[in-house]
């Protein structure tokens, strides 16, 4: 027994000596792996780290580095496995907790991410990277104050840490603080002017603020740095769209599609641009492609529904709105669009129900109040109509449509208690002025208002001008009937629909 114990002891000493002797060799493989990792040769790096582990199976550093390589290769499970072994071998390795935390983040496990980064920062509090990644986890959990706190700590540790400024800017933006967001993005750009990300993110904030020129400027800077990023072209195209520069918008969407033909967002954004240009067929084609690429794209169904509605295919439009609502029950615009289709089909009750839902989801949607007011007016409930028109004007005093709708009610309502010719003329004129006297329906409303006010020569004059602006015979014929009525000195009365 004694002899055997002594032998065992010798063996143990021999094995330990072998390990200590092996570690320098294993360290060489770790160093080779690190060089391969820097070059982006991930398989070579993993192979080197694996050889280091074979030589020295208790070398925690080799497991941690291989875990990092697995993470960069997009294999968080193997990254977690290796980092867990590294932590078992060296429980005080802050970097192993950090690397495993990043892998948990890649898997979407935010709680484990935060837990590992807490541990990493407890071991070594001066890690700006760990603070930043934990901030990302808090951001994704919706805890913006904690995210900002972590990004701020990262900046305190390293005042030149561009990523922390960029990420803190995103948190400020999501909190609804565009000024602080722009300030942080600007600092990130100052630190690293060759990074396209902060330019793109600052452009998004400028766009939300309505400063489209600055947004376009920042997107252009981002494109100059990285001309292959389809997403930036899409956002710049959106900015051109809101500026009313539809040709530049389409050009940018075209480039985005060339760069990424499977990007559903590029097609679903080019669709409304075609719509605004009056090209409904191309709009529908783009929405079709967007839906093929992403069948869960509620906005594409909404846009296609709106296109069908404008083409007069109301049943198809309603079908698309139904799908948009199924995919996104909180989409107020889809309810509004479906309500407008029911309205055009003459189903006022269903229209009002959808307008109600749109308003509940978005109480500041002025056009929903306007259309619901028109529906109430047509149902013979002018009191409710007046309430909706008043609210629409409060929400959007620059919408000519609500003034002409109000003027029509005041000038043509079958209930004399609600008619007021002078006010009708006032509101109708305002609508015509806002649209530069170019809309036939608005001029016809002014004519009806003058008829109610008893100024029939003016009624005849404006009705004739309205007829001049009509395009189709179906639109022109009812206008001519109204003209004959005014020539006879009779005002028009809008009877309620049952």
**Is residue 297, in this structure, part of any structural domain at all?**
no
Q: Domain of 37?
A: 24-125
**Is residue 52, in this structure, part of any structural domain at all?**
yes
Check if the beta carbon of residue 332 is closer than 8 Å to that of residue 362: yes
- How high is the pLDDT of residue 23? 64
Report residue 55 as tokens. Answer: 């030589």
Residue 436: helix, strand or coil by DSSP? Answer: coil
CA-nearest of 413, 368, 362 to 391 is 368
Q: How many folded domains does the chain comprise?
A: 1
Report residue 361 as tokens. Answer: 């989801």
**Is residue 346, in this structure, part of any structural domain at all?**
no
Residues contacting 491, CB < 8 A, separation 6+: 411, 412, 448, 451, 452, 485
Q: How far apart are CA 96 and CA 93, in angstroms?
A: 5
Report residue 44 as tokens. Answer: 């070579």
- How high is the pLDDT of residue 474? 86
Q: How far apart are CA 453 and CA 419, in angstroms?
A: 10
Q: How far apart are CA 308 and CA 247, in angstroms?
A: 23
448: left (phi over 0), alpha (psi -120 to 50) or beta: alpha
**Is residue 45, in this structure, part of any structural domain at all?**
yes
Check if the beta carbon of residue 371 is closer than 8 Å to that of residue 487: no
Mean pLDDT by 10 residues, the chain (498 residues): 29 30 78 94 96 94 96 97 97 97 97 98 97 98 98 97 97 97 98 97 97 98 98 98 97 98 97 96 98 97 97 97 98 98 97 98 98 96 97 97 97 95 97 96 97 97 96 90 96 83
Tally of CB atoms within 10 A around 463: 27
- How high is the pLDDT of residue 14? 24
Rounded to two decimals, what is the model's pTM? Answer: 0.83
DSSP letters of 302-340?
HHHHHHHHHHT-HHHHHHHHHHHHHH-TT-HHHHHHHHH
Q: How far apart are CA 331 and CA 321, in angstroms?
A: 10
Residues contacting 107, CB < 8 A, separation 6+: 76, 77, 80
**Is residue 30, in this structure, part of any structural domain at all?**
yes
| 122 exposure class (CB count in 10 Å sphere: 0-12, 13-18, 19+) | exposed
CATH value at residue 88:
1.25.40.10
**Is residue 63, in this structure, part of any structural domain at all?**
yes
Phi/psi of residue 413, each to 5°?
Answer: -60, 135
CA-nearest of 72, 11, 13 to 40 is 72
Exposure on the CB side of residue 72, measured as CA atoms within 13 A:
17
Q: What is the pLDDT of residues 465-484, one digit of tens each?
A: 999 999 888 889 999 999 99
Tally of CB atoms within 10 A around 74: 9
- How high is the pLDDT of residue 25? 87
Q: How far apart are CA 486 and CA 467, in angstroms?
A: 14
**Is residue 39, in this structure, part of any structural domain at all?**
yes
**Is residue 283, in this structure, part of any structural domain at all?**
no
């Amino acid at each position: 027994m004694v002899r055997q114990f002594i032998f065992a002891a010798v063996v143990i000493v021999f094995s330990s000596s072998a390990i200590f002797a092996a570690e320098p060799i294993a360290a060489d493989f770790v160093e080779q792996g690190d060089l391969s990792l820097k070059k982006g040769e991930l398989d070579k790096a993993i192979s080197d780290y694996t050889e280091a582990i074979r030589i020295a199976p208790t070398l925690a550093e080799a497991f941690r580095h291989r875990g990092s390589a697995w993470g960069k290769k997009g294999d968080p499970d193997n990254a977690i496995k290796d980092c867990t072994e590294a932590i078992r071998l060296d429980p005080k390795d802050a970097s192993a907790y950090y690397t495993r935390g990043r892998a948990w983040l890649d898997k979407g496990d935010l709680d484990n991410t935060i837990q590992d980064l807490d541990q990493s920062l407890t071991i070594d509090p001066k890690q700006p990277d760990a603070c930043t990644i934990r901030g990302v986890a808090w951001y994704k959990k919706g805890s913006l104050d904690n995210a900002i706190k972590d990004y701020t700590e990262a900046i305190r540790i390293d005042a030149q840490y561009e990523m922390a400024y960029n990420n803190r800017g995103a948190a400020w933006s999501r909190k609804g603080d565009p000024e602080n967001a722009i300030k942080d993005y600007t600092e990130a750009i100052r630190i690293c002017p060759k990074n396209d990300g902060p330019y793109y993110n600052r452009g998004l904030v400028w766009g939300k603020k309505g400063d489209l020129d600055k947004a376009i400027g920042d997107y252009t800077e981002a494109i100059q740095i990285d001309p292959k990023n389809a997403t930036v072209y899409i956002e710049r195209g959106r900015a051109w769209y809101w500026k009313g520069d539809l040709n530049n918008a389409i050009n940018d969407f075209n480039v985005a599609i060339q760069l990424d033909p499977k990007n559903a967002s590029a097609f679903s954004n080019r669709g409304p641009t075609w719509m605004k240009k009056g090209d409904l067929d191309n709009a529908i084609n783009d929405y079709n492609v967007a839906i093929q690429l992403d069948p869960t794209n509620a906005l594409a169904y909404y846009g296609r529904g709106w296109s069908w509605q404008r083409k007069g295919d109301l049943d198809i439009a309603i079908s698309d709105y139904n799908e948009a609502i199924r995919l996104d029950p909180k989409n107020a615009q889809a309810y509004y669009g479906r309500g407008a289709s029911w309205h055009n089909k003459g189903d006022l009750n269903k229209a009002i129900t959808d307008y109600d839902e749109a308003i509940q989801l978005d109480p500041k949607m002025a056009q929903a109040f306007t259309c619901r007011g028109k529906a109430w007016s047509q149902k013979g409930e002018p009191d409710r109509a007046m309430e909706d028109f008043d609210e629409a004007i409060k929400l959007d005093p620059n919408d000519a449509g609500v003034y002409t709708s109000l003027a029509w009610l005041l000038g043509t309502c079958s209930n004399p208690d609600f008619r007021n010719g002078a006010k009708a003329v006032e509101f109708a004129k305002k609508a015509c002025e806002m649209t530069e006297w170019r809309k036939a329906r608005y001029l016809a409303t002014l004519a009806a208002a003058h008829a109610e006010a008893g100024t029939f020569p003016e009624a005849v004059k404006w009705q004739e001008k309205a007829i001049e602006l009509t395009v189709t015979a179906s639109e022109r014929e009812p206008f001519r009937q109204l003209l004959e009525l005014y020539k006879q000195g009779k005002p028009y009365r809008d009877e309620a629909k049952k």
